[in-house]
Amino acid sequence: MLETQDYAGITQIRMSRELNGKPVYWVAAYLVDDLLIDTGCSHTAHELCDFLKGAGVRRVVNTHYHEDHIGGNHEIKRRYGVELYAHPDSIPFIEQGFKLYPYQEIAWGYPIASSASPIPRVITTSRHAFRVMDTPGHCQGHVCLMETSLGWCLSGDLFARAQPKFIRPEENIAQIMQSMRDILSAAGDRLVLLTAVGKIVEDGRSALQECIDYLSGLARQATALRQSGHDTEGIVTVLFGGEHPFAQLTDGQFSCLNLVRSLLEIGS
């Protein structure tokens, strides 16, 4: 399943596996001139390649190595001979693969391994120059692409929502907050977040600052609760009213417990 929309000369391509006529989970790629940012999941790789026929894609950048961002790499490279770039920390996963949980196999599927080169610090197209910024936290090897003259930030999975309730175990809240601060420092007055979850956030400065303030507040609350004798599960109950249903659906990969553990590391 594939949907597109135009935003100021950028083509957003939203993709999802379709089950029983319904999307499982949307993820977005972005086409700017001859540059494609992310390639979705393996379940939609052929559909994406069909859409790109005649688009003149020459280069692909992966914002990070997760399976819902690199799944079309192999097929796009096979059909169109593109150059593929990623952060050096992401390249081993792109080239060698990694184990998925059952929910990941269902939603996104295993990517076929593909070769990639280290991403340069600046990516230029015929009309734009994108500064490549290291933005770890969601995972190591995560990058954002910034076109500061227009206020664009192709933000990958750095930002999904202003008030997250759950994260993966490998996510690091302190790093996420610092990466958001780095984006705010690098941006001008205008900041538009073109996110991998498919949201285009026009007031990106306010959204990032709200998220930073929210996470900072949660970290203070979690630390205070720990100091008053609550264990980690008890803190989850106080802050969120109990565990999120996603924890059971994802074998504990997306959970409030993971978020609280990372928040507590900030105050330790």
Query: What angle, 0 to 180 degrees and rounded to 10, lies between the N-to-C axes of helices 204-227 and 173-186?
Result: 150
Q: What dihedral do alpha carbons 146, 151, 153, 159 form, nearest 10°?
A: 140
The mean pLDDT value of the chain amounts to: 96
Question: 8-24, pLDDT tens digit by residue?
Answer: 999 999 999 998 889 99
Q: Does any domain span residue 181?
A: no
Q: Does any domain span residue 228?
A: no
Whether residue 262 is predicted with pLDDT greater than 70 in this model: the reply is yes
Q: Does any domain span residue 89?
A: yes
How far from chain centre, in Å, is Cα 158?
5
pLDDT of residue 105: 93
Question: Can you give the residue range of the structural domain that contains 70?
Answer: 1-127
Q: Does any domain span residue 222?
A: no
C-alpha–C-alpha distance, residues 212 and 206, integer Å:
10
pLDDT of residue 268: 60
**CA angle (213 as vertex; 185, 175 as ends), nearest 5:** 60
Q: Does any domain span residue 103?
A: yes
- Please give the model's pTM, rounded to 2 decimal places: 0.95
CA-to-CA separations, 43 to 152, 158, 238, in angstroms, rounded: 28, 23, 39
Q: Does any domain span residue 5?
A: yes
C-alpha–C-alpha distance, residues 179 and 218, integer Å:
18
pLDDT of residue 147: 97
How far from chain centre, in Å, is Cα 220?
26
For the chain, the domain total comes to 1
Compute φ and ψ for 109, nearest 5 degrees: 80, 165
Question: 114-129, pLDDT tens digit by residue?
Answer: 999 999 999 999 999 9
Q: Does any domain span residue 252?
A: no
Whether residue 267 is predicted with pLDDT greater than 80 in this model: the reply is no
- What are 248's two structure tokens? 């059971």
Q: Does any domain span residue 257?
A: no
CATH of residue 89's domain is 3.60.15.10
pLDDT of residue 27: 97
Distance separating the N- and C-terminal Cα atoms of the chain: 45
Closest by CA to 195, choosing from 67, 29, 55, 2, is: 29
Whether residue 139 is predicted with pLDDT greater than 80 in this model: the reply is yes
Question: 44-100, pLDDT tens digit by residue?
Answer: 999 999 999 999 999 999 999 999 999 999 999 999 999 999 999 999 999 998 999
